[in-house]
């Protein structure tokens, strides 16, 4: 079984060349919510110049390859309609500002901390959530917010930061985009209007996204089971299993991302459940794994995750 990995890159990490040299690495991913000291163009120019080195043969055979370039493919992860905290908020407080204006019936629950914190929203005013209570901690910019209600309407899709990155990509001749919270073909088309040659990986993260995957399959580009938010959005945890199967059935080349070997961020030995999780994902057909922010922040954790994925893929 050929297993490959896309690695989230901390923009200023000193170990990126070593990651790119790993034999199963087929690409790098820039999470565009990460803070930068450079402009989008400057960081893209720098990160897209990491050589493939030892990983060249592995990446060349995959759909995520750069088409023969001597550099490791760089995917730019745009946030789209994903709801995120726009400004820091310190408790006690009564409002949280979001990246998008929304409409939703209130009161309604909002989920923070990967779904582990549920708090009540009393009212909504554009991009402002008026809270009944909590979260009882500092809420920082870039944090994901999930509101799972059929009445939810999010105004707009691409953010200003998304548009800045697309403009920089166009200037540099870059084409590889991951788009969060894809729910319709129009979401992909909006990216392609700004970057006509874009290769778009559609991140499936909501119930509407699952409907899009069933309906359109891989018609508009490769799919990704983006489990960070998808696990929260399915609301009942056991529903993540049919959701993962829906995506791989819609696109046999789909990528699976996030919540992969995250225990390695805290300990040098992964928990048994993490290994079983990866084995299940391989069993149902996933071959390309994208490691998320948490496990990729340190050299030892990301290298151990890559080594483990490589070993688990052998002989299957």
- Does the bond joining 92 to the residue before it have cis omega, within 30 degrees of 0? yes
Residue 150 and residue 46 share a domain = no
251 within a domain of the structure (yes/no): no
pLDDT at residue 93, as a whole number? 72
pLDDT for the residue numbered 90: 82
H-run or E-run covering 74: strand 74-78
Domain-embedded: residue 161:
yes
DSSP notation for 141-189: TT-B-B---TT-EE--SS-HHHHHHHHHHHHHT--EEEETT--SHHHHH
CATH number of the domain that 183 lies in? 3.20.20.60
Distance (Å, rounded) from C-alpha 228 to C-alpha 267? 20
- Claim to verify: residue 36 and residue 48 sit in the same structural domain: yes
Query: Do 112 and 212 belong to one domain?
Result: no
Comparing CA positions, the residue from 269, 264, 256, 272 lying closest to residue 297 is 264
Per the domain annotation, does 264 fall within a domain? no
Place of tokens 């297993």: 3
Residue 113 placed within a domain: yes
Domain span at residue 208? 29-58+70-81+156-220
Query: How many domains are contained in the chain?
Result: 2
Which residues sit opposite 31 in a β-bridge?
A: 77
Would you state the pLDDT for residue 65? 37
Same domain? For 211 and 102 the reply is no
What was the pLDDT predicted at 271?
Answer: 97
106 in the same domain as 52: no
Q: Phi first, then psi: give them for residue 102, nearest 5 degrees.
A: -135, 165
Looking at the domain assignment, is residue 144 inside a domain?
yes
What is the predicted pLDDT for the residue at 55? 45
- How far apart are alpha carbons 31 and 316 in whole angstroms? 31
Instruction: Report d(CA 149, CA 106) in Å as an integer.
Output: 10
Residues 196 and 178 both lie in one domain: yes
Per-residue pLDDT at 209? 97
Whether 231 and 240 have beta carbons less than 8 Å apart is answered as: yes
Q: What is the mean pLDDT of each run of 10 residues along the chain (316 residues)?
A: 93 95 97 93 96 56 47 96 92 87 97 93 96 87 94 94 97 97 96 97 97 96 97 95 98 97 96 97 98 96 98 83
Same domain, 135 and 163: no
Q: How far apart are CA 85 and CA 242, in angstroms?
A: 30
pTM of the model: 0.92
């Amino acid at each position: 079984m050929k297993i490959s990995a896309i690695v989230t890159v901390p923009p200023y990490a000193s170990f990126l060349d070593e990651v790119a040299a790993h034999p199963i690495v087929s690409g790098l991913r820039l999470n565009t919510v990460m803070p930068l000291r450079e402009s989008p163009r400057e960081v893209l120019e720098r990160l897209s110049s990491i050589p493939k080195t030892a990983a060249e043969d592995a990446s060349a055979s995959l759909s995520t390859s750069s088409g023969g370039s001597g550099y490791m493919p760089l995917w730019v992860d745009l946030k789209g309609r994903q709801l995120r905290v726009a400004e820091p908020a310190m408790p006690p407080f009564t409002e949280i500002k979001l990246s998008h204006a929304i409409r939703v019936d209130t009161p309604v629950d909002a989920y923070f901390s990967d779904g582990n914190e549920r708090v009540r929203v009393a009212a909504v005013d554009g991009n402002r959530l008026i809270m009944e209570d909590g979260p009882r901690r500092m809420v920082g910019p870039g944090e994901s917010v999930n509101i799972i209600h059929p009445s939810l309407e999010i105004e707009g899709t691409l953010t200003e930061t998304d548009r800045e990155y697309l403009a920089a990509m166009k200037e540099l001749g870059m084409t590889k985009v991951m788009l969060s919270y894809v729910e319709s073909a129009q979401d992909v088309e909006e990216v392609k209007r700004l970057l006509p040659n874009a290769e778009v990986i559609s991140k499936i993260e909501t119930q509407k996204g699952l409907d899009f995957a069933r309906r359109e399959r891989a018609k508009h580009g490769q799919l990704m089971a983006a489990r960070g938010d998808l696990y929260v959005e399915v609301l009942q945890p056991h529903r993540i299993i049919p959701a993962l199967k829906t995506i791989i059935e819609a696109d046999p080349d789909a990528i699976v991302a996030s919540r992969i070997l995250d225990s390695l961020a805290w300990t040098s030995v992964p928990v048994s459940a993490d290994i079983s999780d990866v084995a299940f994902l391989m069993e149902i057909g996933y071959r390309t794994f994208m490691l998320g922010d948490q496990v990729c922040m340190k050299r030892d954790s990301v290298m151990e995750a890559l080594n483990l994925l490589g070993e688990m893929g052998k002989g299957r």
